[in-house]
Amino acid sequence: MSEALKGVRILDMTHVQSGPTCTQLLAWFGADVIKVERPGVGDITRGQLRDLPDADSLYFTMLNSNKRSVTLNTKTEKGKEILTRLIEECDVMVENFAPGALDRMGFTWERIQEINPKIVYASIKGFGPGAYEDCKVYENVAQCTGGSASTTGFDDGPPVVTGAQIGDSGTGLHLALGIVTALYHRTHSGKGQRVECAMQDGVLNLCRVKLRDQQRLAHGPLKEYPQYPNGEFGEATPRAGNASGGGQPGWAVQTKGGGPNDYIYVIIQPPGWAPLMKTIGREELIEDPEWATPEVRLPKLDQCFAMIEEWTKTKSKFEVMETLNALNVPCGPILSMKELAEDQSLRATGTVVEVPHPTRGSYLTVGNPIKLSASPAKVDRSPLLGEHTDEILGAVLGMSAADIEAAKAEGAV
């Protein structure tokens, strides 16, 4: 068993969520991730949404596992000198500052390449080149400008943002792929390169099927959407409620209990029709020409799911799951965060892990969702602010104890 990215050293100048998600993934794969933070302040999320006074927030701890923290004021002369040395010693540099911030520090891409021609320099910005390139961007801005919000929610309601952090964590994932690809390229070219991901692009990539539907719309109504056949289709891909994005109709139907998450998502595939109708007590519809084929069902999907719901309302979501899975009818209970936190199989696979922490006690986090057979990820706690400053300046940069003390006295670290 070995760490897949062992030996790769990452200069992590990321903050908030998008960049830290990326570098956390690389750290789980074994890269040595050195997180650079402003002295005395650190990543702003350390203090955001705090649940405990004087302890790093869950926002921070859940996005910065397995990293080392060094404090550095990159706006001092000594700080710039140390940053230059770090660029020399690292294989990858990652940042998600506001547009132009790194240039203002004096570290343009040209300068970074001069310092270390083999470095992979990766960055996240809200937008790519164009009208909005100078804008600061957060999660929901990306969801709204990347096509997710206009296609999420119900037809008669406003646009809705999703709970999944597709703008931040989604773009972090895209960037991580760009980085390992550039590292692979470096193994035979010997050269580093620049990797850029715009959050708008990342969200649009995840909304690919909605751009598919935009083009289909020119050729007639989208028959799997709840607007068909009675509602209006405008000029753009509409919000589809809970309709399936694929070719198989699906909907979230209510189950016994009446709670906010007592629902199950049921998909009707052609082979599932007969067993499903038999189970819900509507055997007469199995061969009925008005109901028997996907084509004739399309205009009355609402009635199909209403019939199914009559039955699901008599069972818990887990009972429905058990019954329908045995019949090969794809379905998924709507699981709450409480249920996911308590799920024993997610604990067993390391997807949900409990991590000890010196100042806040144990906390729950999502471990590495990507499983490598020869390189299993171990999740370690996030670092305290500047916890590894001396160790990094000494062991990585070769600074003497006196040099380190001088840098501290100058306020550079």
Write out the binding residues for ligand COA, residues 114-173 only, by CB under 6 A: 124-126, 136-138, 168
Cβ 141 to ligand COA, closest distance in Å? 8
96 is in an annotated binding site: yes
Q: Does the annotation list 38 as a binding residue? A: yes
168 is catalytic: yes
Note whether 410 binds ligand COA by CB under 6 A: no
Q: Which is nearer to ligand COA, 87 or 276 (CB)?
A: 87
Q: Which residues contact 174 (CB under 8 A, 6 or more apart)?
A: 197, 201, 202, 205
By C-beta, is 200 or 227 nearer to ligand COA? 200
| Helical H segments across 164-264, by residue range | 169-189, 199-206, 208-216
The helix (H) or strand (E) run that includes residue 252 is strand 250-254
Using CB under 6 A as the binding rule, whether residue 16 contacts ligand COA is answered as yes
Q: Which of 91, 168, 302, 380 is catalytic?
A: 168
Q: What is the largest distance, in Å, between two alpha-carbon atoms of the chain?
A: 87
Q: 246 labelled as ligand-binding?
A: yes
Task: Report whether 46 contacts 63 (CB < 8 A).
Answer: no
Angle between helices 169-189 and 18-28 (to 10 degrees): 50
CA angle (339 as vertex; 55, 60 as ends), nearest 5:
25
Q: Which of 181, 179, 174 minimizes the C-alpha distance to 198?
A: 174
Nearer to ligand COA, 6 or 136 (CB): 136
* CB of residue 85 to ligand COA, shortest distance in Å: 15
Should residue 101 be labelled a site residue for ligand COA when binding is judged by CB under 6 A?
A: yes
Q: What is the C-alpha separation between 332 and 334, in angstroms, rounded?
A: 6
363 is in an annotated binding site: no
Calculate the CA 169 to chain-centre distance: 3
Active site residues: 168
Task: Please report, as ranges, the residues that interact with ligand COA according to CB under 6 A.
Answer: 16-19, 36, 38, 72-75, 96-98, 101, 104-105, 124-126, 136-138, 168
Q: Which residues are annotated as a binding site for CoA?
A: 17-18, 38, 72-75, 96-98, 104, 136-139
